Amino acid sequence: MVGSFLQPLLYLLGMGLGVGALVDRGDRSEQLLDGLTYFQFLAPGLLATTAMMVCANEALWPVMGGFKWMRGFHAQAATPLSPGEVAGGLALWHGTKALISVCGVALVLVLFAETRSFGILLAVPFGALTGLAFATPLSAWSSTRQRDTSFPAINRFVIMPLFLFGGAFYPIEQLPDWMESVAEFTPLWHGVELCRGAVHGRLEFGSAVVHVAVLASVALVGWLVARVTFARRLAA
Amino acid sequence: MSVSVSTPLLSASRLVKRFGDFVAVGGIDVEVQQGESFGFLGPNGAGKSSTMRMIGCVSPVTEGELRIFGLDPATHGKQIRARLGVVPQMDQLDEQLSVEDNLILYGRYFDIPRAECKRRAKELLEFVQLTDRAKSSVEPLSGGMKRRVTIARSLINEPELLLLDEPTTGLDPQARHVLWDRLYRLKQRGVTLVLTTHYMDEAEQLCDRLVVMDQGKIVAMGSPRQLIQEHSPREVLELRYSAGTNEQRALEVDGIGHRREVLPDRVLIYADDGEAALADVHARGSRPESVLVRRSSLEDVFLRLTGRSLVD
């Protein structure tokens, strides 16, 4: 919680104020960001990126540890719990963890007049859902791995690029067309759009439904796959 | 629900576990009665843990029939697991939680109300003599203490059958004796124990009856005393010669006792009277660097049955 409060705060101060001072100086800056200051543009996206980072971390090494090192999942599987319930309980924990961190970021947003709004209340569950869309597929992946060699690569080549190119720091229209299309397929972009729209009260119902549907489907499919992969791993 | 005396608590017939082409358990028959303390003795890789994981209803049976409390793990896994206690080979405790919370959380997996979990946790920590550590985190505890926490945890659902996979492997002698004492008390309370071990002293201490397993098969079955009587003369004379000469020096004592076994570090002579055998050895002019006469043990039974020692 403390980390989820401090890290976005640093990003906001560093990027929001520093880069913001540059961006907002341009003549057409108002149009560029749909009438938002850079600070206003950046801040809500951090709800989604923080949830993503937290959940990605939780779904890699700790999940492997649950099978291999601390073996907590094996301990659970020895009780009446089924492997599917073990996977479900984990998803529930990841959702909770995402919610807690998103609340930390929300506190940061409340601190600044530029982002303070009732829309934050709506953005919080959107942020948590974004986290879950990363938690369940990555948990499923981790449960099939015997070694953690792929995990740093996931961080470097999936999570970091999404953080940079997923629409949190600038509109994805700025990207080359092909990258823009890729970005539109990633859960993070949908989460960022939802959170930004919610905080600034500009969410359209139709697009909100699409964004939520995408995030929920990814989370759901990840969970269903994890139920199967957990059962396989625990029965081996 | 209770099991009538005539029905075995656990029965396996022609039980097989395969992983791909590898046969971990190659068709074993076992019956364990209520209140019994039953052991699987064998070296690493004998198929003990695979058997335990099938009995624990976490690993599906490949072939054959397995019944626990008269129920089939394939259809009643949940119901069976609710009545089992499991002490796995590795402790699997949550090191971030306190000792007490480990027990309470585990009890919650059995849907036992929190207040009841708390009450039982207190009792169980008393039983394993860790009351003073209840609030301490698990991480700094010694191996023997962690093992005791794991045993306490496995008892939180008041199991009818307790499965222990190598309960004292890796513990120092003192910790092992403390553990044995606690397990013996459980047995006295009527808890059925099924355990695996590769220590013959552990099997002798704890098991009413045991099977000796090797390469997925049962090679002998009986009480420790029976097995020793059947498969080994009463005493063993151990001779140590200087390193690397055992093979050659063993020839000097050929024909003494019932049987001779040459190990890398010593020569064993099986005899009804060890001292008499030693006198024979000396009479032949053979001069070992050290000698020991002892009662024969399950280790000797195992050596006899498989030609290898238990602990490599």
CATH classification at residue B149 = 3.40.50.300
**Chain B CB within 8 Å of residue A158 CB:** no
> Which residues of chain B make contact with A232, given a CB cutoff of 8 A?
none
Of A186 and A31, which is predicted with more confidence? A186
Check: CB of residue A217 under 8 Å from CB of residue A130. no
State how many domains chain A has.
Answer: 1
Q: Has residue B266 got a pLDDT over 80? A: yes
Percent of chain A with pLDDT over 70: 99
Q: How many CB pairs under 8 A join A and B?
A: 46
Contact between A79 and B94 using a beta-carbon 8 Å cutoff:
no
Residue B278 lies in a domain: yes
Do B70 and B190 fall within a single domain?
yes
pLDDT, residue B2, reads 52
Domain end, chosen from B179, B201, B222, is at B222
Residue finishing a domain among B165, B196, B222: B222
- The total of structural domains in chain B comes to 2
Q: Could you tell me if A72 lies within 8 Å of chain B, comparing CB atoms?
A: yes
Chain-wide mean pLDDT for chain A? 94
Asked if residue B280 and residue B217 are part of one domain, the reply reads: no
Inter-chain contact B92–A74, Cβ cutoff 8 Å? yes
Q: Which chain B residues contact residue A79 at CB under 8 A?
A: 81-82, 106, 109-110, 157
Span B247-260, average pLDDT: 88
Q: Which pLDDT band, with edges at 50, 70 and 90, does A52 fall under?
A: very high
Mean pLDDT of chain B: 92
Do the beta carbons of residue A172 and residue A184 sit within 8 Å?
yes
Residue span of the structural domain in which B268 resides: 233-295
User: Which site among A76, A79, A97 would you substitute to test the B interface, given the most B Cβ atoms closer than 10 Å to its Cβ?
Assistant: A79
Average pLDDT score over residue span B90-97: 92
Residue B5 pLDDT > 90, yes or no? no
Q: Are B218 and B247 within one domain?
A: no
Q: Are residues B122 and B237 in the same domain?
A: no
B57 to chain A, closest Cα gap in Å:
8
pLDDT of amino acid B311: 58
Place of tokens 């109300």: B113
In this structure, is residue B282 part of a structural domain?
A: yes
Residues 195-224, chain A, touching B (beta carbon < 8 A): none
Question: Both B179 and B82 in a single domain?
Answer: yes
pLDDT at B305: 87
- Does position B310 have pLDDT exceeding 90, yes or no? no
Please tell me whether residues B72 and B191 are part of one structural domain. yes
Indicate yes or no: CB of B56 within 8 angstroms of CB of A78. Answer: yes
Per-residue model confidence as pLDDT tens digits over B40-79: 998 888 999 999 999 999 999 999 999 999 999 999 999 9
What distance in Å separates the CA atoms of residue A211 and residue B169, rounded to the nearest whole number?
54
Sort out which chain B residues have CB atoms less than 8 A from A92's CB and list them: none
Residue B157 pLDDT exceeds 90: yes
From A30-39, A66-75, B169-178, the region with the lowest mean pLDDT = A30-39
State mean pLDDT over A139-160. Answer: 97
Strand, helix or coil for residue B19: strand
Nearest CA in chain B to A85: B109
| B125 shares its domain with B25 | yes
Whether B193 and B268 map to the same domain: the answer is: no
Contacts of B110 in chain A (CB under 8 A): 79-80
For residue B270, the number of C-alpha atoms closer than 13 Å in the C-beta half-sphere is 18
Which residues of chain A neighbour B77 with C-beta distances below 8 Å? 82
For residue A207, what are the domain limits?
Answer: 2-235
Is residue B203 located within the same domain as residue B135?
yes
Hey, which bits of chain A come out as E strands?
none
Do residues B200 and B286 share a domain? no
Establish if B1 belongs to a structural domain: no
Whether A79 and chain B come into contact, CB under 8 Å, resolves to yes
**Could you tell me the pLDDT band of residue B216, with boundaries at 50, 70 and 90?**
very high
Percentage of chain B exceeding pLDDT 70: 97
B/e letters for A30-49, b = 16+ CB within 10 Å, e = fewer, are eebbeebbbbbbbbbbbbbb
- CA pair distance A195, A13, nearest whole angstrom: 19
CA closest to A77 among chain B residues: B58
Question: Residue B43's pLDDT is what?
Answer: 85
Q: Cβ of A231 under 8 Å from any chain B Cβ?
A: no
**Cβ–Cβ below 8 Å for A71 and B56:** no
Picking from B228, B175, B176, the residue whose alpha carbon sits closest to that of residue B204 is: B228
Q: β-strands B37-41, B10-19: how paired?
A: unpaired
Q: How many helices (H) and strands (E) does chain B have?
A: 11, 13
The minimal CB distance from B58 to the residues A70, A72, A77 is found for A77
Closest CA to B23 of B170, B298, B155, B213: B213
Of the listed ranges A131-135, B204-208, B308-312, the one predicted with least confidence = B308-312
Does A77 contact chain B (CB < 8 Å)? yes
Nearest Cα to B246, choosing from B277, B267, B261?
Answer: B267
- Binary contact (B81, A80; C-beta < 8 A): yes
Give CA–CA dist A171/A189, Å, rounded: 10
- Closest chain A CA to residue B78: A80
Q: Clarify whether residues B146 and B280 are in a common domain.
A: no
* CB < 8 Å to A235, chain B: 58-60
Mean pLDDT, residues B146-157 taken together: 96
User: Is residue B302 a part of any domain in this protein?
Assistant: no
* Residue A35 binned pLDDT confidence (cut-offs 50, 70, 90): confident
Q: In what order do the strands lie in the sheet with B217-222?
A: B84-87, B161-165, B192-197, B37-41, B209-214, B217-222
Confidence check: pLDDT of A213 > 90: yes
Q: Are residues B67 and B107 in the same domain?
A: yes
Chain B residue numbers with beta carbons less than 8 Å from the beta carbon of A234 are: 58
B110–chain A nearest CA distance, Å:
6
Collect all residues from B whose CB is shorter than 8 A from any CB in A.
19, 56, 58-60, 77-79, 81-82, 84, 86, 88, 90, 92-95, 106, 109-111, 157
pLDDT tens per residue, range B182-202: 999 999 999 999 999 988 888
Residue B44: predicted pLDDT: 85
In a domain? residue B303: no
B247: CATH = 3.30.70.790
